[in-house]
Amino acid sequence: MANFKYKFKTIKDVKQRLEKKTQKELAVIELDISNKKEEILIINEKLKENRKKKNESRIKKITELHFYEKYENYLEEQIKLIQKYINKKTVERNKKIEELIKKSKETKTFEKLEDKHLAEFVKVQEKMEQKELDEFAVIDFLKE
């Protein structure tokens, strides 16, 4: 039996590599979003600590209160900036998901095409083997 050679193998391999690359890019974006969400949690903890210190402070100097307010505003601004970044990355993630779906469909198309070609190849090989067996049977019959 001859070996099966899929004529679109290189294209299929390229499609699979592109799909894996997109999966990795998506994973990097997901990790980045996750890290930024953790950053927000840390900043929120700092914000809570700052508010607690501000309320517990016995010495109520204007400069001290002013410092706590400025620091609180700074932390809130940091949260807003990180939220904007997360929103931007979420849009990017959604685009990557769409791209990954498209690439997955392309890869599956070539895999299905390979399966069809393999089935045809097997069918042709079986016909050829059957012809050979029939010829051997005819030759054996004629010898008798």
pLDDT tens digit string along 45-69? 999 998 888 777 676 778 888 888 8
How many C-alpha atoms does 101 have within 13 Å on its Cβ side?
6
pLDDT at 57: 67
Distances (CA, A) of 141 to 117, 130, 134, 137, 144: 36, 16, 10, 6, 5
pLDDT at 61: 78
Query: What is d(CA 94, CA 105) in angstroms, rounded to the nearest whole number?
Result: 17
pLDDT tens digit string along 16-49? 999 999 999 999 999 999 999 999 999 999 999 9
pLDDT at 6: 86
Phi, psi angles (nearest 5°) of residue 5 = -120, 115
What's the predicted TM-score (pTM) here? 0.75
Kindly tell me the sign of the dihedral angle through the C-alpha atoms of 19, 22, 28, 31. negative
Q: 141 versus 71: which is more confidently predicted? A: 71
Which residue do the tokens 């469909």 mark? 105
Tell me: pLDDT of 4 over 70.
Answer: yes
- Both tokens of 48, joined, read 């809570």
